[in-house]
Amino acid sequence: MRALLVTCIMLCFFEANGQEVTGNIKNHGNSEMDMVLMLFGTETPISIGKVDETGKFTANLSNLKIDQFSEDDISMALGDLYLNFFFSCADPQTFGEYFDKPALRQDFVRLPSKGEWAGSVFLVSDENLIPWIEDSAFNDAVLGTFYEIVYVPNEIAIKASCTTTISATEEEEVEVAYHYNLKLNAGFNWVEYTIEEVFETDPNIRASFPSKVKITNVMDASKMLWIGKYY
């Protein structure tokens, strides 16, 4: 199945509560489509909004509920907070008492149409981040910002930093640093990852990777580009 990459560039606006984003996906080229999260599988999507036939959309996290799912389904999906970020610290205690609080991460937004998965939306500040997000083993990281969604049952504030090591070669271990400073409200939250430094590797051995990353709430929604990959 051939994928068509469509750049969805929009002006984003946050409500005062920081949970709603509105904008226009240019060159959408499709009929109205749902925007959903598939935290509990493809058979149980959670709608966060719609894209109309002109490309205009509103995505809202503020009123989402998961009480339609069974306690068993929820407990099986939830995991420790420190593991539910794109970048994780090797030492769970970096997050102190919150390290094992339940959480659930969603990497990108799905676009079903007529009951079938028709596309995905990546939230980035630079389209060149997408190949690395899709396959970090073979594609180089670049400076920039990307965005995900994290669900937590209870409010949590995190201010922590850690360093860990990543293998650049069989002989070389590179120290990387992750800095977290964010407040997660009970429910669904936008999370921003800013890659501030990239370690350049030998491309014959492995792809370049982020060596310094800042993880926060969304700082400036106007930088968010919505990049759609349609199938």
Q: Which domain holds residue 22?
A: 4-230
Domain total in the chain: 1
Q: Mean pLDDT across the stretch 199-225?
A: 93
Helix, strand, or coil (residue 228): strand
State the average pLDDT over residues 50-71: 84
DSSP 83-137: GSSSS--SSGGGGGGGTTSEEEEE-SEEEEETTEEEEEEEEESSGGGHHHHH-TT
Confidence (pLDDT) at 166: 95
User: For residue 200, how many C-alpha atoms fall within 13 Å in the half-sphere facing its CB?
Assistant: 0
Question: Which amino acid would we find at residue 88?
Answer: S
Tally the residues of the chain: 231
- As a whole number, mean pLDDT of residues 137-159 equals 95
pTM of the model: 0.89
> How distant, in Å, are the alpha carbons of 68, 80, 118, 185 from that of 83?
25, 6, 29, 18
Confidence band of 133 (pLDDT split at 50, 70, 90)? very high
